[in-house]
Amino acid sequence: MWRVASDFFHRCIEGFATSMSREAPSGTVPAPASRATPPSTNKRHAPARGYACAMLYCIGATLLGTLLHETFVEANLVLIYLLAVVLATVQYGRGPGIVASFLAVLAFDIFMVLP
């Protein structure tokens, strides 16, 4: 198993090195490729929808966390909120991801941590 992973890693590195040597002359660093839209703008969804879904993800994580609160310790319940933040960020971009992170911390502190 380790041999297969090692071979795959070496093929990836060789392919990367080959593509870098073709794109740039020796001794220079290639310039980053220009993009049509900056990476921070995500035009796949309407902005309000992303923020609403980020809030719904945090509400869902809170509901799931309250159901599992007796089974798992608090440190493991944080991973549910982390999943909500990652989903919001990947699907809707940086802004909803930041909102989801603040909402997740707030919800975890209010509903999961004892006073």
Tens place of pLDDT per residue across the chain (115 aa): 556 555 655 555 565 455 555 555 555 655 565 555 555 554 555 789 999 999 999 999 999 999 999 999 989 999 999 999 999 999 999 999 999 999 999 999 999 998 8
Taking alpha carbons only, the member of 76, 94, 53 closest to residue 108 is 76
Contact present, 57 and 88 (Cβ < 8 Å) = yes
pTM, two decimals, is: 0.60
Give the pair of three-digit tokens for residue 31.
Answer: 């310039």
Contact present, 84 and 57 (Cβ < 8 Å) = yes
CA distances (Å), origin 97, targets 14, 57, 62, 88: 35, 10, 16, 5
Amino acid identity of 19?
S
**Domain residue limits, the chain:** 2-34+44-111
Task: Find the helix packing angle between 74-92 and 94-111, rounded to 10°.
Answer: 160
Q: What is the DSSP letter of 15?
A: H
